[in-house]
Amino acid sequence: MPGARIAAARRDLDAVSKRLEQAFPYTNRGRGVNVLPLQWVAVGDARTPLLMLMGASVFVLLTGCANAGNLTLARGIARGRELAVRSALGAGGVRIVRQVLTESAALALTAAVLGAALAFWGSKLLVTALAQSFALPKVTFDWTLLALAALIALVSGVICSSRVACLTDPADNAQLSSVAPGQLISLYGADLAPAAPYTPAGGVAQSSNTFGVFFNGIPAPILYSSGQQINVQVPYEIAGASTVQMQVVSQQIESPVSETRALGVVERQPAIFLSQAALASPFPGWSACGGVTALGQAALALNADGTVNDCANPAIAGSAVTVFLGGFGSVTPALGTGVIASGPAAALAPSLSAGPFTGATVIATASLPGSITGVAQVRLQAGGGGGGNVLLNGPTLAGASLRERVILIWTR
């Protein structure tokens, strides 16, 4: 009975079964009829395992996409010098972008072809293995789905080759997926701005309709730009939002840019500005200076006499040392977006906590006169002697942990 529901079909067949039992009691007594969905007849008990297999495949696909996307973005950053050289040799923005898009699309299509071949042969092996335990229908390869997969791969390759490759925190070069009010960030990518390095007069320039970065339509102050980099300050006005739309506009180049990216918003994500000894160290969490490797990430710090702190010029135990903090979010007194802090330094709340089992005491967290309001200074007292370097172990700001779990100050 086409279209009949299982319950109705079962009632009708039960009635037929009873009539047959009455008409032929010797052969039909105690016999009945069971009605099963056609899908169950086709796949039997394989439905649940197949759904689990499909779910696992989706998670594997998402993981692979995330890994491939990160590798593509990292590769784009690593090629910054190469793209700059190509641009200096006369390659226009359109040509460079076309090259990047072509490479990404070719990589994506190659991966799609290899994946389709693996799926074609793997499906046969899977059907053979499952057929020993489950009733499976005939399984065929859907070429329409293959074409759709190729299209998705092509689109994904183009998307992953976005002009804006990544966002980083200039304090420690950490890659970001969220921002805090007032935070300084660096955007890296291909042909984002005019190739000539640009530092605004007075240290800050406002974003415009022809060149700039906007957060929910709020213009971000520009601190620096070059062909592959734009440094801006996230507006304090986004405080309280959970997400923000970042738009990058650059109409002053041969191949104009207009891209939008969704970012999370956090109250604060503090980070100490690191020295080259930490940033260039081959060992994560350690610092290398003058042939010496020491535990902790060495902060960009000034000794009490104003000289730069490093392994060859350590601080005197018990003296004051100044480090620099970014990503601290909204503070009291409130700071303005795109403003160069004036003197004298104003104490800011909340203040940095040096953390437990540490060798330093926080004297004050304050504004930094002459610098953009996204940078604060933290004055520390560098321990009481012992001949060893001072470590800040697990520093926090209003309960938010710094990305640098152990911060090093060279001390003697």
What residue spans define the domains of the chain? 44-160, 164-265, 271-409
Instruction: Give the model's confidence band at 53: pLDDT under 50 very low, under 70 low, under 90 confident, else very high.
Output: confident
Q: Measured between alpha carbons, how far is 268 from 396 in angstroms, rounded to an integer?
A: 11
At 247, phi and psi to the nearest 5? -115, 130
Which pLDDT belongs to residue 140?
66
Which pLDDT belongs to residue 360?
87
Which pLDDT belongs to residue 399?
92
Which pLDDT belongs to residue 52?
84
For the chain, the average pLDDT equals 83
Which pLDDT belongs to residue 232?
98
158 contacts: CB under 8 Å, gap ≥ 6 = 101, 104, 105
User: Is the model's pLDDT at 319 over the cut of 70?
Assistant: yes
Q: Which whole number is the average pLDDT over 174-198?
A: 92
Q: Which whole number is the average pLDDT over 44-49?
A: 68
User: Is the model's pLDDT at 31 over the cut of 60?
Assistant: yes
User: Is the model's pLDDT at 143 over the cut of 60?
Assistant: yes
Which pLDDT belongs to residue 299?
96
User: Is the model's pLDDT at 98 over the cut of 70?
Assistant: no
Q: Measured between alpha carbons, how far is 337 from 362 in angstroms, rounded to an integer?
A: 26
Q: Which of 159-168, 192-201, 334-343 has the lowest mean pLDDT?
A: 159-168
What is the rounded end-to-end Cα distance, in angstroms, of the chain? Answer: 92
User: Is the model's pLDDT at 314 over the cut of 70?
Assistant: yes
Tokens of 363: 């004297």
- Name which residue leads in pLDDT, 205 or 18: 205
- Its pTM stands at 0.66
Q: Measured between alpha carbons, how far is 254 from 191 in angstroms, rounded to an integer?
A: 9
CATH class as words, domain 164-265: mainly beta
User: Is the model's pLDDT at 75 over the cut of 70?
Assistant: no
| Stated length of the chain | 412
User: Is the model's pLDDT at 70 over the cut of 60?
Assistant: yes
